[in-house]
Amino acid sequence: MEKHDLIIIGAGPAGLTAALYAGRSRLNTLLIEKMVLGGRILMSETIENYPGFPGGIPTQDLIGRMEAQVKELEVEIINDQVLGIDCIKKTIELSAGVFRQAESLIVASGACPRKLNIPGEDKFTGRGVSYCATCDGPFFKNKKIAIVGGGNAVAEEAMYLSRFAAEVNIIHRRKDLRASAILQERLQENKKINFILDSIVTEIKGEEKVSAVVIKDVLKGNSCEFNCDGVFIYIGYEPETAFLKGKLQMDDSGFIITDENMLTSSSGIFACGDCRKKGLYQVVNACGDGAVAADSAYKYIANKEK
C-alpha cells in the first residue's frame, strides 16, 4: 500500500488550491479526482467575480492555470473514485480495490446539483432535462426553455441560454429572486427572458423528449401545463459526502462540519470547499478553504513528527 504525507480527495478549486499549498510545503501529496480536474465549476462558462480579472475569466482558463501551478510542483494526480475512508488509519479505498494511506487527509469532494424529485425528471434527463447550460445550451437553438430556481446560478445560466433559445422562462417559488442585484438588472434588460414567480414545477411531461412542464401557483393553488422544449434545474447542490457517512460529523444535509482551521470531527482529517458547511459557496472562498486546510494539514503532520 502506497503511503503519502497527504491525500486530497477532489480536485475542484478547493482541492487544487490545497494541492498547491501542500506542494509548496513539500508534502508528498496525492490528489484524487473522479471526474475532470476543476470539478463541477466547469459547468459555468465564465467566472466574473474572481478577484484580479476585471470583466471575468473563462472558467476553463482559470482552472487551467490552477492545474499548471499544481503540476509544476510535481503533485501526483490520479483519476479515480474514493469509496470509503478509515479515519483512524488514514487510509482510503479506491474504486479498483486499491488502498492508499497518508498522515493526513483533506476532503474536497464538492457538491452535485440537487434534483426536484418530481415525475418525469429522471425519465427525461438527457432528453430535455439538464443541470448544465454550458453543456447543453447549444442544443436548444431557437427553442423555448424553462429554467427552475432563483439564485445567482439561475441568473447566469438564463443569460447564457438566451444566446441560443428563442425564449427563456425563469420559474421561481417566491415573488423575488435571490440573485444579486446586478444580475437581476441584466435579466430585466434581456428581452428573451420572462419570469413565472410564486410558482413551482410539479411534473415534467413528454413522449420521447420534454414537451411541457406542469406549473403550480403556490398562492392560488391552481396548476397548468406550460409548453417548452427543455428544463434546466438550478435549485442548489447536495454535498458529495455519501462515502463518508458515519465517519465524520455532518449536518442534516450531509455537509461536513469543520472548525475555522477546516478540521473535521476526526483528528488529522480536514475538509474544504463546497462539501463543507458554511454560509457562502463561491470559487473565491473555496480557494481560501483549500489554503487553510493544506496549512492545517502541514502543521498536523509537523507536530506528529516531533
Is 122 contained in some domain? no
Is 119 contained in some domain? no
Q: What is the pLDDT of residue 237?
A: 86
Last residue of a domain, one of 206, 233, 260: 233
Q: How far apart are CA 241 and CA 126, in angstroms?
A: 25
Q: How far apart are CA 246 and CA 186, in angstroms?
A: 44
Is 32 contained in some domain? yes
pTM confidence score: 0.81
Question: Do 183 and 277 belong together in one domain?
Answer: no
Give pLDDT tens digits for 2-52.
Answer: 899 999 999 999 999 999 999 999 999 999 999 999 988 887 788 888 999
Is 88 contained in some domain? yes
Q: What is the pLDDT of residue 136?
A: 87
Last residue of a domain, one of 183, 210, 233: 233
From 86, 122, 135, 224, active-site residue: 135
Answer yes or no: 86 catalytic: no
Q: What is the pLDDT of residue 169?
A: 98
Instruction: Tell me how far CA of residue 301 lies from CA of 76, 188, 276, in angstroms.
Output: 19, 52, 22
Residues spanned by the domain of 151: 129-233
Is 11 contained in some domain? yes
Question: Do 145 and 228 belong together in one domain?
Answer: yes
Classify burial at 186, counting beta carbons within 10 Å of its beta carbon; exposed 0-12, middle 13-18, buried 19 or more: middle
CATH, residue 22: 3.50.50.60
Q: Would you say residue 127 has pLDDT above 90?
A: yes
Give pLDDT tens digits for 45-58.
Answer: 888 889 999 989 99
Question: Do 249 and 178 belong together in one domain?
Answer: no
Pairing of strands 230-233, 76-79: unpaired
Pairing of strands 91-94, 199-206: unpaired
Q: How far apart are CA 196 and CA 147, in angstroms?
A: 10
Question: 272-289 burial by CB neighbour count: b if 16+ within 10 A, else e?
Answer: bbbbbebeebbbebbbbb
Answer yes or no: 132 catalytic: yes
Question: Do 190 and 277 belong together in one domain?
Answer: no
Give pLDDT tens digits for 64-108.
Answer: 999 999 999 999 999 999 999 999 999 999 998 899 999 999 999
Q: Would you say residue 140 has pLDDT above 90?
A: yes
Provide the grid cell at 288.
481560501
Q: What is the mean pLDDT of residues 205-214?
A: 97
Q: What is the pLDDT of residue 259?
A: 97
Q: What is the pLDDT of residue 30?
A: 98
Question: Do 97 and 147 belong together in one domain?
Answer: no
Per the structure, the count of domains in the chain is 2
Question: Do 142 and 214 belong together in one domain?
Answer: yes
Q: What is the pLDDT of residue 281?
A: 86
Q: How far apart are CA 62 and CA 53, in angstroms?
A: 10
Q: Which residue has the higher pLDDT, 97 or 128?
A: 128
Quote the DSSP letter at residue 246: T
Q: What is the pLDDT of residue 132?
A: 86
Is 123 contained in some domain? no
From 80, 112, 132, 198, active-site residue: 132
How large a percentage of the chain has pLDDT more than 70? 100
Q: What is the pLDDT of residue 1?
A: 79
What spatial distance separates the first Cα and last Cα of the chain, rounded to whole Å? 25
Q: What is the mean pLDDT of residues 275-296?
A: 94
- Asked whether 200 and 176 are in contact (CB, 8 A), the reply is no
Q: What is the mean pLDDT of residues 250-273?
A: 97
Question: Do 200 and 252 belong together in one domain?
Answer: no
Answer yes or no: 80 catalytic: no
Give pLDDT tens digits for 214-257.
Answer: 999 999 999 999 999 999 999 988 999 999 999 999 999 999 99
Question: Do 21 and 68 belong together in one domain?
Answer: yes
Measured in degrees and rounded to the nearest 5, phi and psi for residue 102 equal -150, 165
Question: Do 105 and 133 belong together in one domain?
Answer: no
Is 55 contained in some domain? yes
Is 96 contained in some domain? yes
From 136, 229, 274, 289, active-site residue: 136
Last residue of a domain, one of 198, 233, 268: 233
Q: What is the pLDDT of residue 17?
A: 98
Question: Do 158 and 248 belong together in one domain?
Answer: no
Q: Would you say residue 306 has pLDDT above 70?
A: no
Q: What is the mean pLDDT of residues 183-189?
A: 96
Question: Do 195 and 58 belong together in one domain?
Answer: no
The candidate with the shortest Cα–Cα distance to 83, out of 237, 241, 250, 239, is: 241
Question: Do 165 and 250 belong together in one domain?
Answer: no
DSSP H/E element including 144:
strand 144-148
